Amino acid sequence: MLKIVHAADLHAGRPSSRELDKEKASIRRREVETSLHTIIDLVKQEEANILLIAGDLFEHLYTRPSWVKEAALLFASIPKTRVFISPGNHDPALRDSLYRSIRWPENVTVFTESGFGEAVLEDMGVAVYGYGWTGFSERERVVRRFRCPRQDLFSILLIHGDLLAGNEISAGQEEAASKGGYGVLAGKADSPVENPRQSSEYLPILLEDLRETQVDYVALGHIHAPMDFQVGRTRVVYPGCPEPLDFGDRGQRGVYLITVEGSSNGGGGSPRRSKAEFIPIAKRKMRVAEVDITGLETYEQVKKAVLSLGAQGERAQDLWAVTLKGRIDPELELDLSALEREISPEFFFVKLIPDYLPDYDLEALKDPGNQSLEARFVRHLLDMKAQAVRAGDEKGARVAELAIYYGLDALRHGEVLLRRSRSD
Ligand SMILES: [Mn+2]
């Protein structure tokens, strides 16, 4: 039996979000760096034969040379495990790359040469093929060029690239299902599942490219959400980033543990079966929550509502983005930055996102007999909204509705209170 740990996208050295204060940012940066320690611990515990790192191990632009020394020492602490690394778009094997700056321990192979490298481990019955990036972008469908030359061994292709599966992935999943396969474990808002793209500057990969490789296992990196599926005879895995790096990285984050039965492919060419298990290792989670503050009358009540989110341990440990929704008393003036400051000791990190509206009584202003400036303004904008709705212009309708509240704020308070996030 063969055991493989597959990781990718550690992004060691990546600066933390500017939203974090200096202390938290340095804690978080170190936690991202030490995800490699956790991975090495897992390799030891499982006595894994192979560790695969599918690119973006570190940040070419930010990483300290001392971290790479630390990484080399960690790899040296697992001398019986063969380590393979294919550089990605954040750690390309440029001439001044840290990959080229030190002597790696003997058990480590970094695919730094252009084209596909090969390492045959006859004793394990394994062949590893790796492709390392040598620049910051790659528009070619590189995987299409690869055909596995060894069908008698358990074959692995290690590469960092962008799966453009589009709608095909569902077909792929069906295929997987019919063969007792695996499907997609977790999606992401910008994953190819929901947002099919035609091209990419990050080494585009199509499902058909994967199918034609004829390898047993494609170890990918680049997409930060974990994914495990089957294309033809080939198992394809994205482990995702071991620590969440931004608020898009919701849910579990970790690495994959692959177990391969048997010692070599059967004489009849039947592939060895592999089992893939997702192992969560992230120290913290990104949490996105909504709180409806409709009907709350005081600042203290709003504060209490936010502080009731999650368990105490989850607040203290995790990073939270909390959207305040609903309709509030127009007289309740919430100072969100003060509120954020007051509640932040309860959370590792928290940001409040305003998405509520003042509960103005629009009915009274709709009366055509009411000739006040406010009433005429509201009726005019309600007409604009109705027109937009008739024209199927959803965005226009939304803008007209928000304009009603901004306008009423301006007329009543003499200022527009920004209640929505700028990104909206
Ligand atoms: Mn990455």
Q: How is residue 55 annotated by DSSP?
A: S
C-alpha 407 – ligand 1 centre gap (Å): 44
CA of 221 to the centre of ligand 1 (A): 7
SS3 41: helix
Q: How confident is the model at residue 271 (pLDDT cuts 50, 70, 90)?
A: low
What's the pLDDT at 332? 85
* Ligand 1 midpoint to CA 8 (Å): 7
Distance 7 CA to ligand 1 centre (A): 11
Which pLDDT belongs to residue 16? 86
Lowest mean pLDDT among 190-199, 235-244, 387-396, 405-414: 190-199
- When the pLDDT of each residue in the chain is averaged and rounded to a whole number, the result is 89
Cα 338 to averaged position of ligand 1 atoms, centre (Å): 35
Q: What is the pLDDT of residues 148-195, one digit of tens each?
A: 999 899 999 999 999 997 444 544 443 443 333 334 433 333 444 444
Specify which residues 375 forms β-bridges with: none
- In which residue are the tokens 């080494």 written? 203
CA distance 94 to 387: 57
Structural domains present in the chain = 2-280 (3.60.21.10), 285-359 (no CATH), 361-424 (no CATH)
Read off the pLDDT of residues 60-115 as tens digits, 9 standing for 90 and up: 999 999 999 999 999 999 999 999 999 999 999 999 999 999 999 999 999 999 99
Dist. CA 327–CA 340, nearest whole Å: 20
The yes-or-no verdict on residue 275 having pLDDT over 50 is: yes
Higher pLDDT, 196 or 118: 118
Neighbours of 217 (CB within 10 A): 25
Kindly write down the DSSP assignment for every residue of 316-342, as one continuous string.
HHSEEEEEEEEEE-TT----HHHHHHH
Residue 281 confidence (pLDDT): 97
Distance (angstroms) between ligand 1 centre and the Cα of 203 equals: 12
Higher pLDDT, 262 or 384: 384
Question: Residue 110 and residue 414: Cα distance in Å, rounded?
Answer: 63
Q: How far is the CA of 298 from the centre of ligand 1 (A)?
A: 44
The alpha carbon of 20 and the centre of ligand 1 are apart by a number of angstroms equal to 21
Rounded distance from Cα 168 to ligand 1 centre (Å): 23
Please give the pLDDT value at position 273: 84
Distance (angstroms) between ligand 1 centre and the Cα of 224 equals: 6
Question: Is 312 in a helix, a strand, or coil?
Answer: helix
Structure token digits, residue 52: 């695969």
pLDDT for position 224: 95
C-alpha of residue 219 to centroid of ligand 1, in Å:
14
Measured in Å, residue 334 CA sits from the centre of ligand 1 at: 38
For residue 51, the cross-strand partners are 5, 83
Distance CA 88, CA 274 (A): 25
Using the mean position of ligand 1's atoms as its centre, give its distance from the Cα of residue 83 in Å. Answer: 19
At residue 422, the pLDDT reads: 43
Rounded distance, CA 158 to CA 95, Å?
A: 21
How many angstroms is it from 91 CA to the middle of ligand 1? 9
Cα(253) to centroid of ligand 1, in Å? Answer: 13
Whole-number Å distance, alpha carbon 408 to ligand 1 midpoint, is 45
Q: What is the pLDDT of residue 197?
A: 72
Q: Is the pLDDT of residue 353 over 70?
A: yes
* pLDDT value, residue 192: 44
Q: Is the pLDDT of residue 348 over 60?
A: yes
Confidence of residue 421 (pLDDT cuts 50, 70, 90): very low
DSSP of 168-216, one letter per residue? HHHHHHHHHHHTT----S---TTSTTTS--S--SB-EE-HHHHHHH--S
pLDDT at 258 over 70: yes
pLDDT for 263 equals 60
Ligand 1 centre and the CA of 396: distance in Å?
A: 36
What angle is formed at CA 224 by the lines to CA 223 and CA 226, rounded to 5 degrees?
Answer: 90
Q: What's the confidence (pLDDT) of residue 133?
A: 97
Dist. CA 54 → ligand 1 center (Å): 9
Task: Tell me the whole-structure pTM to 2 decimals.
Answer: 0.84
pLDDT of residue 364: 86
pLDDT digits (tens, 9 = 90+) for 190-216: 444 444 577 899 999 999 999 999 999
SS3 per-residue string spanning 112-168 = CCCCEEEEEECCCCEEEEEECCCCCCECCCHHHHCCCCCCCCEEEEEEECEECCCCH
> Which residue(s) pair with 141 in the sheet?
none
User: What whole-number distance in Å separates Cα of residue 270 and Cα of residue 155?
Assistant: 13
Distance 9 CA to ligand 1 centre (A): 4
> What is d(CA 244, CA 250) in angstroms, rounded to the nearest whole number?
7
Residue pLDDT, tens place only, 321-340: 999 999 998 888 889 999 99
Angstrom distance (rounded) from CA 269 to CA 206: 26
- Whether the predicted pLDDT of 350 surpasses 50: yes
State the angle between helix axes of 35-46 and 65-76 in degrees (0 to 180), rounded to the nearest 10: 10
